[in-house]
Amino acid sequence: MGKETGGQAFPRQQWEYDGQNNVLQYQEEGMTLRDYFAAKALGLCFAQYLNHAEVEGFQDGWRDGVAADAYQMADAMLHAREAT
């Protein structure tokens, strides 16, 4: 993935024992912060498109456009986060 992802949104550390009283630690990565921000923005992007579609009608490929808008919003949030 070429875009900066902002790191992991919900990293978790996992602990396991190997049966010989040795503790093994690893991290489960989960979704990226960019994915999390896009998911949060998706509802707003969809609502905006519904307002547009009410007048213009649904267009082919509208789902791809809504998803792209959500990721553009996520990228803007990551940029704003770096600027502060």
68 part of a folded domain: yes
**Strand 23-28 vs strand 12-17: parallel, antiparallel, or unpaired?**
antiparallel
16 part of a folded domain: no
Provide the domain limits for residue 45. Answer: 31-83
39 part of a folded domain: yes
Quickly list DSSP for 15-82.
EEE-SSS-EEEEEE--SBHHHHHHHHHHHHHHHHHHHHHHHH---TTHHHHHHHHHHHHHHHHHHHHH
50 part of a folded domain: yes
Give the angle 50-52-58 at the CA atoms, nearest 5°. Answer: 70
18 part of a folded domain: no
- Backbone phi, then psi, for 59, in 5-degree steps? -110, 155
User: What's the domain count of the chain?
Assistant: 1
Asked if pLDDT for residue 26 goes beyond 70, the answer is no
pTM above 0.85, yes or no: no
Tell me which of 11-20, 48-57, 71-80 is least confident. Answer: 11-20
What pLDDT does 30 receive? 76
